[in-house]
A and B are shown apart, each in its own frame.
Chain A
Amino acid sequence: MRSFQQRLADFNTRAIRVVAISVDAPEVTRQHCQKLGFTYTFLSDQNAEVIRRYDLLHQGGGPKGADIARPAEFLIDSTGTIRWINLTDSVTVRARPEQVLKAFDDLKPAAQTGA
């Protein structure tokens, strides 16, 4: 999360919105974002409805057996089509900003309407 904040300018110049989703409550996330200086969008999926819809539920993966999201990254183009996915097989290995930026830059220009 920190690494995406550090590279946020590179996402902004490409007009890519960075959006993080977890089961945490908005209030918890807001305080955490303030503390750590995160300025991009954080969404709260407390009932894991969207997480289930994307088949990313990690049952009992949280503290005290809480259901949480497994780490995953989706790059969606301006038409709403998914263009790149990263489903890690380890909690400690996450997508790096440069991977996503490269994936975006490698897309066919047709997808980058308004660029």
Chain B
Amino acid sequence: MKRRWNYSLWAGFLLVVLGLVSYVTFFVRFPITRDFPWANLLLFFAGAVLLGKGLIRSFRQPELYRGKILGSILAAVSLAGIGFFSYGLFYLVRQLPSSAAAPRVGQKAPDFTLPDQNGKPVTLAELLASPPTGTAGARANGVLLIFYRGYW
């Protein structure tokens, strides 16, 4: 008798793959799924349950279900993928310098001159002296400096 296709192994594996790629491609866009990757962990969990279910039946009922070898491989690959993801998202992203000597609240912000996206030099003093484009005021009430990693 031809053994049955063990769909739960593949569904589980697909969910894990989806969990791996969806963080960078989709969930990173929303602070609520970016700050903590709970959506991806949920996908991993669902994938692991399905993989486990598929593996159990391939070993317990090998005469009925396929997937003893392939299922083990898919499970191992999934585990490695989840491990890699966790290493990146719970360890690597936290390897930041302490910035202990950064300017503190109450201090004057060190002035600077840097070119803007059009190559025009801009100083912090100028930024403070001019309002945001399209607003009426004589000068800015404040400047928000956002330092970001770049390499866009």
Contacts and interface: CB of A to CB of B under 8 A. Distances in A.
Contact of B150 (A68, A90, A112): A68
A96 B93 CA distance: 18
B144 A11 contact: yes
Contact of A42 (B104, B117, B144): B117
Contact of A82 (B107, B131, B138): B107
Contacts, number: 235
A91 to B, nearest CB: 4
Interface in A44-69: 44-45, 49-51, 53-59, 61-63, 66, 68-69
Nearest to A58: B97
A37 B104 CA distance: 32
B143 A16 contact: yes
A20 to B, nearest CB: 5
B115 A26 contact: yes
Contact of A16 (B31, B111, B112, B141): B141
Contact of A12 (B99, B125, B134, B150): B134
A17 B122 contact: no
B41 to A, nearest CB: 14
A111 B145 CA distance: 17
Contact of B115 (A43, A62, A83, A95): A43
Given A26-B118, A80-B124, A87 B109 contact: no
A106 interface: no
A81 B106 contact: yes
B114 A50 contact: yes
A69 B125 CA distance: 22
A78 B129 CA distance: 8
A41 B143 CA distance: 11
B143 A33 contact: no
A21 B152 contact: no
